[in-house]
Amino acid sequence: MSGGGSQSYVALSWNFDEPGWLRAVPLTERLAYLDCPHPPFRRVLASCRDLPDAAWERLDNDPDLRVRRYAAGRPDAPAAVLERLVRAGGAMLKSWPPIVEHPNFPRHRLRAFADDPDPQIRYVALEEPGLPTEVLERLAVDSEAWIRRGAGRHPNATPALLEQLLADADPEVVDEAAANPQLPLGSMRRILDESAL
């Protein structure tokens, strides 16, 4: 690739201001951008809401994760597409709104994420407020401290589980468990006494 070609590629794929003007173009012209090699154009196309089903199918399977994320923002995004997107990109916590908050997201499937080999996906299971105790217990001994922290702040954590997390080697896990409203008053008093507060 020549110098100009590589500069053009960087401009179009790295720090490119998305071409918002594309949203005002007639639908038939916009659809030509489904085949555009530059993801920013496909991302803008995926942010439109008047595309035909065939276009949504292409965008839901786009090689660029952010294009798929934009497409998932439509009100009628299918549940299977949303679940697949979370499995492909974890919770994508930096994106807003989170995909698991989409009205069509199959929230009853959240607990199934707890056994995924990818820790980012295991973490998504903690979005289920009614997560069963046995699932929370598995997440509370996860090798990743940030997952144990999530278990410590979970609203369904039992007093016994919180007591276990109070003995965790990671001080931030202990902090989350100590701040959980499910922790019995006696345990809270003991923490304050031990801290001489």
Within 10 angstroms of residue 76's Cβ, the number of other Cβ atoms is 9
Q: How far is CA 3 from the centre of its chain?
A: 37
Cα separation, 113 vs 86, in Å, equals: 10
Phi, psi of 152 (to 5 degrees): -65, -30
- Predicted confidence at residue 92, as pLDDT, reads 54
In this prediction the pTM is 0.76
Rounded to an integer, what distance in angstroms lies between the CA atom of residue 145 and that of residue 136?
Answer: 14
Residue 22 vs residue 189, higher pLDDT: 22
What pLDDT is recorded for position 4?
Answer: 46
| Per-residue pLDDT tens over the stretch 34-56 | 999 999 999 999 999 999 999 99
Question: How far, in Å, CA of 61 to CA of 49, rounded?
Answer: 17
Using N-to-C axis directions, what is the helix angle for 171-179 and 145-153, rounded to 10°?
10
- Joined tokens for residue 10: 């960087």
Give the chain's end-to-end CA distance (angstroms, integer): 65
| pLDDT value of position 17 | 75
Q: What pLDDT is stored for residue 88 in this prediction?
A: 84
In this predicted model, what pLDDT tens digit does every residue of 52-104 receive, in sequence order? 999 999 999 999 999 999 999 999 999 999 999 988 875 455 555 688 889 99
9: pLDDT confidence band, cut at 50, 70 and 90? very low
Six-digit token string for 15: 């720090």
